[in-house]
Amino acid sequence: MPYVKIEVTREGVTREQKRILIKGVTDLITGVLNKDPELTHVVIQEVELDDWGFTGEQVSVLREKGITADKK
């Protein structure tokens, strides 16, 4: 029973994007590991920007400065 947890910052991820992620991860696990998709669980957890950080700062503060992970 594979369990995959995806954590993203709470920045407007749509229901459709989540559906695509869940389907894509399930298909990948099924194809690569030959696992039963009926037993594959995918959880998407959205995290507030104040509760996520990198380079020693909260993402909320970095966003205010115009900094994203790919610009650092």
Cα 35 vs. chain centroid, distance in angstroms? 21
Phi, psi of 54 (to 5 degrees): -155, 160
Which position among 2, 21, 35, 44 bears the catalytic label? Answer: 2
The H or E element spanning position 6 is strand 3-9
- Residue 17: count of CB within 10 angstroms of its CB: 12
* Residue 2 annotated in active site: yes
Catalytically active residues are: 2
